[in-house]
Amino acid sequence: MCGTDNTNGANGAAPIGRNNNGNANFQRNPYQPVGDFLSNVDNFQIIESTLREGEQFANAYFDTETKIKIAKALDAFGVDYIEVTSPAASEQSRKDCEAICKLGLKAKILTHVRCDMRDAMLAVETGVDGLDVVIGTSSFLREHSHGKNMAYIEKTAIEVIEFVKSKGLEVRFSSEDSFRSDLVDLLSLYRAVDKVGVNRVGIADTVGCASPRQVYDLVRTLRGVVSCDIETHFHNDTGCAIANAYCALEAGATHIDTSVLGIGERNGITPLGGLLARMVVTAPDYVKSKYKLHMLKEIEDMVAEAVQVNTPFNNPITGFCAFTHKAGIHAKAILNNPSTYEILNPADFGLTRYVHFASRLTGWNAVKTRVGQLGLEMTDDQVKEVTAKIKTLADVRPIAIDDADSIIRSFHLGLHEQSQTNGKTPHVLVQNGEEKTMATNGV
């Protein structure tokens, strides 16, 4: 796939609120992406780097068995590529890379290597489908890391690319710290590697400094300079990793690097689940037909356990409260129509929504649903009465589901006992001077 022959995007979209006949009442999908012939928001590929970037996470230690389990799960999920640690990193890394290549997965296997002929020679012997070649191009890295100038970088890059291609493998060339590299240097380097037939060039926000607007500008500029695909890699130091990935696709990038739960160096990169939460809203048909979204939780749980962390409470999709609705006004609307307060459908991920009813913010609609879940029957007036009891207790202290359930059950029991008594002698209440007969229908 090459970015320049891409013809997708919200191509031909009518101006907002107006159709081609000039009818201003045209109903427009509010989630439709911004129309742009460059956009790849509904045609992108995922390079899943849990087994490379993720191995750089502080807590990560993946033995061979764990790597194989993760690789198989990611493959079943439907990621396009799985990137693994360089075989030059250690002898075990080389063996693991070979073992993953032998699994015969549908996903292509890439390894991430320095722009160095020795690393490339080792990597092409492992059975990988391609190499992701990287070198630092910012003045910081040129001065303080590898000490090479741009002429040397370009010459070596071309040698390595030609070598990898001569072995019939795919090759990507990426700068490191692209956003703090000189733009003219960067573009002339990418133009040179594009000319020798590199499959992809990569933009990497290695330090997580870029904003979505900067990403759009750089990728858009690069899209006008090279004809090959564009891969992007975003660190999350300033919380922009998902937004940056989205903007990169809007600007014409074709591939996004992710890791499960975003694990990676420091606080990691664009998370697989978070990116798909974003993309399923923008391009539901593409995302749902390509990725097995119901596997997401299982994969995140597997990786979370492997690196000994909990899934964050605010994680998109799988955070424990991602589909929990609490305020009474929200709960009522959700129970009528979930789209009122949900942009994602939990069922798409094999999950269920939860309407919170054990709090002072609850409303009787939520409690009514809970009454039904407990298999009890009450009239609306009775539900309103028990709701008031729940709210009274919840004003005094935090209450758990069990607390609210026992209030409901004992209230219901009271109604039941009352109705039995009433069956013998109808009970009459005198309230504000009026006579009211309590329910006698045994509910």
- Contact set with Zn ion (CB under 5 A): 53
Of the candidates 44, 48, 85, 43, the residue with the CA atom closest to the CA atom of residue 64: 85
Coil, strand, or helix at residue 341? coil
Distance of alpha carbon 222 from the chain centroid = 25
Residue 87 near residue 121 (C-beta atoms within 8 A): no
**CB-CB contact of 107 with 74 (8 Å):** yes
Compute the least distance from the CB of residue 269 to Zn ion, in Å: 6
Determine whether 330 is an active site residue. Answer: yes
Assigned token pair, 198: 């590199």
DSSP secondary structure letter of residue 259: B
Q: How far is the CB of 293 from Zn ion (least distance, A)?
A: 25
DSSP state of 33: P
Which of the residues 233, 235, 330, 356 is marked catalytic? 330
- Strands 229-234 vs 428-431: parallel, antiparallel or unpaired: unpaired
User: Measured between alpha carbons, how far is 255 from 249 in angstroms, rounded to an integer?
Assistant: 8
Q: Which is nearer to Zn ion, 53 or 154 (CB)?
A: 53
Nearer to Zn ion, 134 or 344 (CB): 134
Question: Considering beta carbons, is residue 66 or 270 the nearer one to Zn ion?
Answer: 270
Q: Which residue is nearest to Zn ion (CB)?
A: 53
What whole-number distance in Å separates Cα of residue 173 and Cα of residue 412?
Answer: 68
218 vs 355 by CB, closer to Zn ion: 218
Q: What is the DSSP string of 320-388?
A: TTTTEE-SHHHHHHHHH-GGGT-SS-GGGGT---EE--SSTT--HHHHHHHHHHTT----HHHHHHHHH
- Cα separation, 79 vs 305, whole angstroms: 21
Indicate the residue among 53 and 194 with the shorter CB distance to Zn ion.
53
Active-site annotation, residues: 330
